[in-house]
Each structure stands twice: as C-alpha cells, then as structure tokens.
C-alpha cells in the first residue's frame, strides 16, 4: 500500500482525475507548434488542448451564445471570461476519456487563474508550467508571417500590439505566480523548432 502511495505521489496523480501541464508564452512563441510535437512523443501520452482553438471553434458554432463576445475579445487581444474558457476546457478533458493534458494558452490572467482553481483544483493536478520565452520582435514577426495564410482575425499589427500588451500586463504575473511555486520550466523559444523541441523533450521524458 505504501508503495502504491509513493507511486501515485511521484506520478502526481494521487486522487486527481487529470494531470495538466500549462503551456504559456507570448503570441507566436510556438506553443501550438511544440504541443503538437509533444503529443507525438512515445510514452507520456498527452492530449493537446489549445484554449484559443477551443474558443475559435465555439465562435464558429452556429447559434453559439458566446460567439460575439469571443470574437470581440480575440480581435482586441483581451481575455474571454473564465467561465466560458474553463467550461470548454473541462468539457474537452472529460469527453476525451484521457488523463494527461497540455493546456496551451491558459491561464492568461488572474480571472483565469481564480476560475480554474475554483472549478478544477480538486480534479486536475498541475504538474508544471512550460514557459516559452520569446522576444516581442520575434513573436510579432512570426504572427505577421503566419497572418499571410492563417485567416486568423488577430494576426494583424493592430491586434498584435494589444495581444502583446495583454501578455505583458496580465499573463506575465501568472507566470511569476507559478515561478514562486517552483513550477515553471522555462525554454528559450527563439531558436528553430527542432532546437526548442530538443529541450522540451527532455522535460517530458522525465514525466
């Protein structure tokens, strides 16, 4: 029994139904790109949930009562109220039938953090926070490049300025909050995709 206890604690599961790695970093830092690569790793078996993608999908749903509010926030680079985002995340986690999740682009501000803790604290164990550190200049250039083909309504200079501002003002304090808890694993995300992934991989093979 003791051995089982030690095993559960070291794998971080305990009584928790889900294990979570939050993935944070500026717009275009490479969160989505790296998450996709992590899901292909043999072993840990993570499901990638991008909060932004879930919101964009909800916005597209005919008759969604949240469509307009989501679109307004996305274009303004501001943050959708946590009740909406957390409900989408929770539903995706529950319907997946899986246990390990990369939650990409969330929590982005205090409202997100408090809302998550209220709703998920007892069911989801936060293993660590993967932080892709990338300069503003590189982030903006990557998004503008992608904007030529992405069709995303926020990949333009005007929205990007606001996204960057929100990132520094609202999201960095969340990263600092987790740093104080010793949970942040920081990666230099300015290098090419494979170089970044070489460092990311090391973290996940230890999970």
Binding site for ligand UP5 (CB under 6 A): 25, 27-33, 50-52, 55, 73-74, 77-80, 85, 105-106, 108, 112, 142-143, 146, 154, 163, 192-193, 196
Site membership for Mg ion, residue 12 (CB under 5 A) = no
30 contacts 112 by C-beta, under 8 angstroms: no
115 contacts 35 by C-beta, under 8 angstroms: no
Burial 122-138 (b: 16+ CB within 10 A, else e): eebbbbbbbbbebebeb
Residue (12 or 32) nearer to Mg ion, CB: 32
Using N-to-C axis directions, what is the helix angle for 110-120 and 172-180, rounded to 10°?
50
Task: Write down the least CB distance from residue 10 to ligand UP5, Å.
Answer: 30
Residue (11 or 145) nearer to ligand UP5, CB: 145
Contacting residue, 13, 16, 32, 138, with Mg ion by CB under 5 A:
32
Residue at shortest CB range from Mg ion: 32
Residue (20 or 196) nearer to ligand UP5, CB: 196
Residue at shortest CB range from ligand UP5: 52
Cis peptide before 157 (omega within 30 of 0): no
Residue (15 or 65) nearer to ligand UP5, CB: 65
Residue (27 or 115) nearer to Mg ion, CB: 27
Task: Write down the least CB distance from residue 15 to ligand UP5, Å.
Answer: 26
Which one of ligand UP5, Mg ion, none interacts with residue 115, CB within 5 to 8 A by kind?
none
Distances from the Cα of 145 to the Cαs of 19, 83, 140, 148, in angstroms?
Answer: 34, 32, 9, 6
Task: Write down the least CB distance from residue 196 to Mg ion, Å.
Answer: 14
Distance CA 28, CA 11 (A): 31
Number of H helices, E strands in the chain: 10, 5
Task: Write down the least CB distance from residue 21 to Mg ion, Å.
Answer: 15
Looking at residue 92, the DSSP 8-state letter turns out to be: H
Distance CA 203, CA 37 (A): 13
Residue (31 or 73) nearer to Mg ion, CB: 31
Looking at residue 63, the DSSP 8-state letter turns out to be: T
Site membership for Mg ion, residue 33 (CB under 5 A) = no
70 contacts 59 by C-beta, under 8 angstroms: yes
Binding site for Mg ion (CB under 5 A): 31-32
């Amino acid at each position: 029994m003791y051995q089982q206890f030690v095993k559960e604690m070291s794998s971080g599961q305990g009584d928790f139904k889900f294990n979570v790695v939050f993935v944070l970093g500026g717009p275009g830092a490479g969160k989505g790109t790296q998450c996709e690569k992590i899901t292909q790793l043999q072993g840990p078996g993570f499901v990638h949930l991008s909060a932004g993608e879930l919101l964009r999908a909800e916005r597209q749903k005919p008759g969604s009562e949240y469509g307009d509010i989501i679109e307004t926030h996305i274009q303004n680079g501001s943050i959708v109220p946590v009740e909406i985002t957390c409900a989408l995340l929770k539903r995706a986690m529950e319907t997946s039938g899986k246990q390990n999740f990369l939650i990409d682009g969330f929590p982005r501000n205090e409202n997100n953090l408090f809302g998550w803790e209220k709703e998920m604290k007892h069911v989801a164990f936060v293993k660590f926070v993967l932080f892709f550190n990338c300069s503003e200049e590189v982030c903006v250039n990557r998004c503008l490049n992608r904007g030529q083909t992405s069709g995303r309504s926020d990949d333009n200079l005007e929205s990007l300025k606001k996204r960057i501002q929100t990132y520094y003002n609202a999201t960095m304090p969340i990263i600092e909050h987790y740093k104080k808890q010793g949970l942040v694993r920081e990666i230099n995300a300015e290098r090419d995709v494979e170089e970044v992934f070489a460092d990311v991989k090391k973290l996940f093979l230890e999970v």
